[in-house]
A and B are shown apart, each in its own frame.
Chain A
Amino acid sequence: MSEKILIKGNEAIGEAAIRAGCRYYFGYPITPQSELPEYMAKKLPAVGGVFLQAESEVAAINMVYGAAAAGARAMTSSSSPGFSLKQEGISYIAAAELPCLLVNVQRGGPGLGTIQPGQADYFQATKGGGHGDYRLLVLAPNSVQELFDLTVEGFDLADKYRMPVLILADGALGQMMEAVSLNVKTAPPVAKPWAVTGRQGRKETNVVNTLSFDKDASEQTNRDLKQKYDLISRQETRCEEFFTDDADVVLVAYGITARIAKSAMEKARAQGLKVGLLRPVTLWPFPAADLLRVAGTAKAFLVSELSTGQMIEDVELAIRCRKPVYFYGRTGGNIPSTEELYQQIVEIVNKGGN
């Protein structure tokens, strides 16, 4: 029988990380994710791990860079304004091809914004954020159980592809409590012969470096990264679909918004309306092929996010603008109600889906 506990979202990430073998946490407090560093501060020493509160987000991400380069499973977490500060380090970690787990429990922005939940860091998470041609593998859980499961899996994916994996959550998920089954399925440990450990008898030195003065070598680095990202797109794209086979209107939403969208969809179905939901689980790679397939039968799409409309661009690109895409978002901490989304669906249906 699997162990089940009631736990807060932010703490579930911490528990999952520890069970996944993460022994190094570096971070800086920021609302609404501070329960996570607090949890790590409390729990890591007992398993021989290290919790270190950095002097800034900038230092924290560079500590992750160091620990990951040294071969350890390491992580950091933050919330929107703090996550912006980490972008320099994330670009370096991606360039150095170091595995680590990043967590952004999003709040409303821009600027200092609000400490209430938001989803407006979508562009930053999926299109770069830092400088250069790099990608993060972005996982978007929509429950406390998934925060737990995807954190464990995130470490495995990071090791498998030698790249940073981002858990893109939001303040609502971070703060809510739900029952979580603590079953942990981790992949077997990956050897890290490239890790910087001190030579310890090795003849060759191990060097973690992101600089090259040779323009051909530099271009090759970017080609190699692109090849890896293409492989990930083929192998790791994930989404969840409900009633997309016969739906006239297909909702597209991730994270906390996907849960509200699902309730709105269920309400619409109960009224006899043909409504479905496609929930991206990976935001990068984006489930473009799945959306394109659904666009073959659906009449219209309704994107909902806690932003003024960021994911809408990916949806339109995915379906090659073949069907109308509507948008409904709430921002700055406000969350749409089931009723609000349901009303949007009804309007689209009344227009005949066009």
Chain B
Amino acid sequence: MQEKLFAITPGLTEASTHYCPGCHHGIIHRLVAEVLDELGVLDKGILVEPVGCSVLAHNYFAMDTIQAAHGRAPAVASAVKRVHPEAVVLTYQGDGDLAAIGCAEIVHAAMRGEKITTIFVNNAIYGMTGGQMAPTTLEGQVTATSPFGRKNAEAGRPIRVAEMLATLDGPKYIARVAVNKPANVNKAKAAIKEAFTRQIRGDGFTLVEVLSTCPTNWGLSPVKANQFVEESMMPYFPLGVYKDEEGKQ
């Protein structure tokens, strides 16, 4: 008898995604869905999705979902968790959504120690709107709104979200991971699992920042995009665990 080696995880629907070839959203979706399934909480899961490329995530996750206004997912999720404290609540947000227009919402949800998990997908650009500069765009990076390369003197230095939020007391687990190669995928899954485990335990706010690709707007092939993550993003956005505090608040 043949052994089944790979199948759709129960946390995802059978819909094929609209993401571009080589985009990491699909991998990250799969990891989140696998983790929630392995933790046995799919039935309690509530996804708050952002504005941006993952605005249609409700078509892919087999979970109850609320589509939030641009940047407001942490505020929405804060209320949802207080209405349903037993639920496992996550926001899935990109860098434009979380680090620009929704910066206040994420900082304050983290500060309050909301018992939610944020999956923060950082690809250093605005994807859906056509490749404009994000707060995470690297110095010198060419985008639709930084056609001569981002200049720190004008635009400031890119925000390191994991490091910034780790300075607060509310978060209990913050890590930055990547999914550009199998070893990193495994580490990313472990970090995502740790974040949800902490939420289920009631520790406090948890966030996993995932360095991700946007081959389409970077103008790179999927292979080159993976290299860009490794060679250009990781030196400025180092992988690692930025906050790891035990115990309830």
List residues of chain A with CB under 8 Å of any chain B CB: 24, 26, 50, 52, 54-56, 58-60, 62-67, 69-72, 74, 88-89, 92, 196-201, 205-211
Contact = CB atoms under 8 A, between A and B. Distances in A.
Secondary structure type dominating chain A contacts: mixed
A208 B67 contact: yes
Contacts of A63: 75-76, 78-79
B46 interface: yes
B83 interface: yes
B56, B58, B75 — most chain A CB neighbours (10 Å) = B75
A199 B42 contact: yes
Contact of A69 (B61, B66, B72, B104): B66
Contacts of A211: 55-56, 67
Interface in B135-161: none
Nearest to B88: A198
Interface in B12-68: 42-46, 48, 55-56, 58, 61-68
Q: State the 6 A-B residue pairs at the shortest beta-carbon distance, nearest first.
A: A66-B79, A66-B76, A70-B83, A62-B75, A63-B79, A55-B108
7 contacts: A59-B75, A67-B79, A197-B46, A198-B63, A199-B42, A211-B55, A211-B56
Nearest to A92: B69
Contacts of A89: 69, 72
Given A58-B75, A62-B69, A69-B80, 12 more contacts: A54-B75, A59-B75, A62-B76, A62-B105, A63-B76, A69-B66, A70-B80, A197-B64, A198-B88, A199-B43, A205-B63, A211-B55
Give the interface centre of A54, A207, A210 by most chain B CB atoms within 10 Å.
A207
B56 to A, nearest CB: 8
A184 B45 CA distance: 36
Contact of B79 (A52, A56, A92, A208): A52
Given A67-B82, A208-B66, A62 B72 contact: yes
Nearest to B111: A55
A281 B88 CA distance: 43
B76 A205 contact: no
B87 interface: yes
B83 A59 contact: no
Contact of B46 (A54, A67, A198): A198
A199 B75 CA distance: 21
Contacts of B42: 199
A59 B69 CA distance: 11
Contacts of B43: 198-201
A92 B62 CA distance: 23
B67 A198 contact: no
B82 A52 contact: yes
Contacts of B99: none
A207 B65 contact: yes
Contacts of B86: 198
B77 interface: yes
B8 to A, nearest CB: 15
Contacts of A197: 46, 64, 84, 87
Contacts of B46: 70, 196-198
Contacts of B55: 211
Contacts of A70: 46, 66, 79-80, 83-84
Contacts of A206: 64-65
B105 A55 contact: yes
Contact of A66 (B56, B58, B78): B78
A153 B75 CA distance: 27
A65 B65 contact: no
Q: Which of B48, B61, B64 has the most CB of A within 10 A?
A: B64
B83 A71 contact: yes
A205 B64 contact: yes
Contact of B62 (A55, A56, A205): A205
A67 to B, nearest CB: 4
Contact of B66 (A54, A56, A66): A66
Contacts of B79: 24, 26, 52, 62-67, 70, 74
B84 A198 contact: yes
A233 to B, nearest CB: 28
Given A56-B104, A198-B87, A198-B88, A209 B65 contact: yes
Interface string B117-147: 0000000000000000000000000000000
Contacts of A69: 66, 76, 80
Given A59-B104, A59-B108, A196 B65 contact: yes
Nearest to B104: A55
A63 B43 CA distance: 23
Contact of A209 (B67, B76, B88, B104): B67
Nearest to A209: B67
Interface string B77-109: 111101110111000000000000000110110
A259 B226 CA distance: 70
A203 B80 CA distance: 21
A158 to B, nearest CB: 16
Interface centre among A62, A74, A210 (most CB of B within 10 A): A62
B75 A24 contact: no
B64 to A, nearest CB: 4
Contact of B72 (A59, A71, A199, A201): A59
B83 A72 contact: yes
